Structures are given as structure tokens and as C-alpha cells.
Chains A and B, each alone.
Chain A
Amino acid sequence: MIYLYGFAFLALAASFSANFKKTVLALKTAWREFFQILPTLVIMVILVTILLFLVPDQVIVAYLRNHDKWIGFLFATLFGSITIMPGFIAFPLCGILLKKGVAYMVLSAFANTLMMVGVATFPLEKRYFGTKAALMRNASSLFIAIIVALVTGFFYGELL
């Protein structure tokens, strides 16, 4: 995070010293694009908070530890797709689940869909890509997430 700010600051400083007018234009562009997207972002966060309320962490844990790994797999895919969590929450959670005996395959399905498939980010994605492209991207991501999870299961000897 600090590096990102540092980098942006350096880039900005370099830009200012190279061409003042161009830099002002850049900042104006940044400002305009930010405000274009702000309402959609707020809506997204609202969706996420409501979703996380409806599907709290404990419920996720309970379902993923299911004895039948395929049911766990199914729920992992489902939870991962509809919720969004920052990575620094998601991975520690995966670490805890792993210690509790959740299969790697299930964790992989959860982590993959969490990051690649976004039902809650859909309104945002739709603004940039359009409904059709956003739908297709999410569908293909879901497919990829499942394949990756299965391969993971294979390498950890959990598949059979």
C-alpha cells in the first residue's frame, strides 16, 4: 500500500516537472472517472454488507466442513461466487479451514470463485464491459475455477 502511494506520488512529481498542463489534465481525468464510478461502488459495498449479513462466516465454515466433499465443493463454489472478501481476510480464513480439516480441493474452489467470479461486483463490471460481456466473463471464470479446484484435488490425492 505504501509502495503504491509512493509510486503514484513519484509518477505525479515526475509528470509535473515534465509537463504541468498535461498533469493537470491527468488529474482532471482521474477525478472525473472516479466520480463516474463512485455511485456504482457504493451500491456494490451495500450489496456486500447485506450478503455478508445473510451468510455469516460461521455458516460458511459449517457448510464447508461437510463430510461429503462434493457437497462441500458445491457450497464452496456457491459461497465464493456470491461473496466478496478482501484477500487478507479470505486467505487467513482458508488457513483456519485447512486446519479444521477442509479439503484443499474445497478451499481451492472457494478461493478461486471468491476472486474470479463476482455476483456482487456484477453491477460494476456491467458498467465497464456491458451485460453480455460481463455475464460471459463470469460464466467462463466459474468454469475455470471449477477446473482448477479439480486439478488441485487431483494433486493432493483428494479426488478419488
Chain B
Amino acid sequence: MMLSRRVTVMTGILYGAFICIAFLAGYEPGQRIGRDFVYFSWDILKVMPPVFILIGLFEVWVSSKAVEKHCGKDSGFAGFLWAILLAGTAVGGVQMAFPVAYALHKKGARLGMIFTYVGAAAICRIPLTTFEASFLGVKFTVIRWAVSLPLVILAAVFLERYLTVQSYKLPLMEMDK
């Protein structure tokens, strides 16, 4: 279930009005929230065009067969490596990983693969990792990768098992039919 349209629009209007009033009245905390909003939105929006263009291209060019072969029902351990490799090169926050994961699933990637993808996108994006290692040390990063990646795969497998038993369907899959 998604947020109803009315709630979304109302929230947006109220929030916008609050920010405007804060700026007019010189209310400092409100102004800070407003600035944060612009800053974060820009941060997210600037990665949007290439990410969604690539998703669009992916949808028309990559055949379901290829995805199924690597990440589908019968894919084995190598599928997880594919998912992690794909995630390592991902950009944007985890919020960008959801649409990509969904696109993969629509092309036949199994649930376990897309959960691995999202998890790995959170853990081991290459640009982020170089940043992390420079601030916290390589040892810190190595431990984090070595422990979390196997656990992410494990969790993804269990999640998939459980959801498959429940014959769970992703909500958008029903809508897109």
C-alpha cells in the first residue's frame, strides 16, 4: 500500500507553507529545515537523470533471459556475486538501490538476488568505501566487508525462502501487470 495521494499533497503543502513562513518571519530552525531540504533534494536529484536513464535503457535492452540466467531461479552462488558486483558500482544512496532492484526483479531476478543487491549497495559501494577507508582505516573497512557480505547473502536467502513459502508478491508487480 502506498501513501494516499491526498496525504502526500497535504503534507507537501503544509511543509512548504511552514518553510515559507519561517523565511518570512525569520524563524531560524524553520530556515535551517528549509535549507536542509534544498540541500538534500539537490543531492538526490543530481544523480537521478543518469540513474533513471540507465534503468530505462536496461529495461529495453537487457533481455529477461540474460538476467534470469545470472540471477534467476536456477542461478547459484555466482548469482550473488553478480548482484554484489552490480551493487559495488551503484551510486546514490540506498534510495537509488530500490528502483534498480525492482527493475532487476521485473526482468526475472529472484528475490534473494535483489535483497542481496540492496544490502550490498548499502555496504560496499566503491566510491563510499574509499572514503570510509581514508577516514577510519583499511582494517575497519575490511572487517566490515568480510563480516557483513556473507551475512547479507544469508539473510537474503532466508528472506527469499520465507517470502516464497508465503507466495509473496512485490506490490508494484501486481500494479504493472
Residues of A that sit less than 8 Å from B by CB: 1, 4-5, 7-9, 11-12, 15, 22-23, 25-31, 33-34, 37, 39-46, 48-50, 52-53, 84, 86-88, 91-92, 94-95, 98, 104, 107-108, 111-112, 115-116, 118, 121, 123-133, 136-137, 140-141, 143-145, 147-148, 151-152, 155
Contact = CB atoms under 8 A, between A and B. Distances in A.
Given A5-B50, A115-B122, A152 B95 contact: no
A55 B1 CA distance: 29
B143 interface: yes
Given A124-B98, A151-B143, A152-B144, A8 B53 contact: yes
Q: What 10 A-B pairs have minimum CB-CB distances, sorted nearest first?
A: A30-B56, A8-B50, A95-B135, A26-B56, A140-B155, A30-B52, A49-B36, A87-B128, A26-B60, A115-B122
Nearest to A6: B50
A1 B94 CA distance: 16
Nearest to B128: A87
A16 B3 CA distance: 37
A129 B98 contact: yes
A147 B119 contact: no
Contacts of A133: 111, 159, 163, 168, 170
Chain A's interface: helix, strand, loop or mixed, by majority? helix
Interface of B: 1-3, 5, 8, 11-12, 15, 29, 32-33, 36-37, 40-41, 43-44, 46-57, 59-61, 91, 93-95, 98-99, 101-102, 111, 115, 118-119, 122-123, 125, 127-128, 131-132, 135-136, 139-140, 143-144, 147-148, 151-152, 155, 158-159, 162-163, 168-172
Nearest to B171: A130
B148 A112 contact: yes
Contact of A128 (B1, B52, B158, B170): B170
A8 B49 contact: yes
A124 B47 contact: no
25 contacts: A4-B50, A8-B49, A8-B51, A11-B57, A12-B53, A23-B57, A39-B3, A42-B8, A42-B12, A45-B41, A46-B12, A46-B15, A52-B36, A87-B93, A87-B127, A95-B135, A95-B136, A104-B136, A115-B94, A115-B122, A126-B1, A128-B171, A130-B170, A132-B163, A137-B115
A87 B54 CA distance: 22
Contacts of B159: 133, 136-137, 140
Chain B's interface: helix, strand, loop or mixed, by majority? helix
A30 B148 CA distance: 32
B15 A91 contact: no
